[in-house]
Amino acid sequence: MVGSDEVVWAVDWEGVPASEPGSAQSNVPASLSAPPTSHPPVPAATVQSNRELVAQELVPGQHLKLTDLGVTDGVCQVSVQITAPAGVELDLCCAGLDGKDCLSDDRYFVFYNHLASPEGAITFQPPADGQGAMLQFALEKIPETIARLVVISASVGNAMQKISTGSVQLGIAGNSLAVFRLGGQELGPEKTLLILEIYRKPGDWKIAALGESFSGGLGALLQHFGANVD
């Protein structure tokens, strides 16, 4: 649980074609002219590396395959950075839902007080060394009984519309692949925000940008997901 003036918790190109030599005529005798040259293609790996530096912007309701964003082995992380007024406390958490959209196994509700799912497929990293909290995923370890991973921001006693700015980043190895921007002006008096979800489709995992607020607090949302809340 974090409260401060700035709350931080803490996506194949082919080679570029060779350029054509100039076609302008020269007065230099052909015997003295150098043979025309062209630039070699830029290696695909170099272009791919440069491309990874620019994260793809997501909009609410957008769905993309994780492999299309560059997540090839199912290992990725989600970090959230939100700026809110002093006194606004926000929690970052993840709910692993089954095929009926129920939290049927509370071991797959991961947050600051329950740091990992049983096999370590979902882990919560608390803030450290100036970095905000983060959720790490190893999707190949997720059991078949889990169909959706919903990333949630929960406010303690305050409305989500008090958020001034925010962004969510999906990344691998510290490199941002996709970014989803949030703003309090687009939110309401609700206390819980469904930020995004990572869900299972035949042969692949996909990400959906949500940005949907929920009228109740975190406890009410968990009850909505069928969980028993004391």
The 10s digit of each residue's pLDDT in 98-153 is 999 999 999 999 999 999 999 999 999 887 775 667 999 999 999 999 999 999 98
Dmax over Cα atoms in the chain, in whole Å?
91
Residue 85 neighbours by CB under 8 Å, 6+ apart: 5, 162, 164
In the 3-class helix/strand/coil scheme, how is the chain assigned residue by residue?
Answer: CEECCCCEECCCCCCCCCCCCCCCCCCCCHHHCCCCCCCCCCCHHHHHHHHCCCCEEECCCCEEEHHHHCCCCCEEEEEEEEECCCCCEEEEEEEEECCCCCCCCHHHEEECCECECCCCCEEEECCECCECCEEEEEHHHCCCCCCEEEEEEEECCCCHHHCCEEEEEEEECCEEEEEEEECHHHCCCCCEEEEEEEEEECCEEEEEEEEEEECCCHHHHHHHCCCCCC
What is the value of pTM for the model shown? Answer: 0.74
Of the pLDDT bands very low, low, confident and very high (cuts 50, 70, 90), residue 34 is very low
Of the pLDDT bands very low, low, confident and very high (cuts 50, 70, 90), residue 91 is confident
More confident residue, 50 or 116: 116
Range from 9-13, 38-42, 219-223 carrying the lowest mean pLDDT: 9-13
Of the pLDDT bands very low, low, confident and very high (cuts 50, 70, 90), residue 5 is very low
Best CA proximity match to 182, nearest among 57, 4, 11: 57
Cα–Cα dist 9/160, whole Å: 15
pLDDT of residue 127: 72
Domains of the chain plus CATH, in order, are: 55-224 (2.60.60.30)
Q: Around Cβ 101, how many Cβ atoms within 10 Å?
A: 14
Residue 213 has pLDDT above 50, yes or no: yes
Residue 88 has pLDDT above 80, yes or no: no
Residue 25 has pLDDT above 70, yes or no: no
Best CA proximity match to 95, nearest among 150, 138, 171, 145: 150
Structure tokens at 94: 């993840």
Best CA proximity match to 100, nearest among 63, 151, 145, 150: 145
Cα–Cα dist 173/176, whole Å: 9
Structure tokens at 89: 């406390």
Of the pLDDT bands very low, low, confident and very high (cuts 50, 70, 90), residue 19 is very low
Structure tokens at 65: 């395959």
Range from 55-69, 83-97, 202-216 carrying the lowest mean pLDDT: 83-97
pLDDT of residue 166: 80
pLDDT digits over 56-76, tens only?
999 999 999 999 999 999 999
Average pLDDT score, the chain: 76
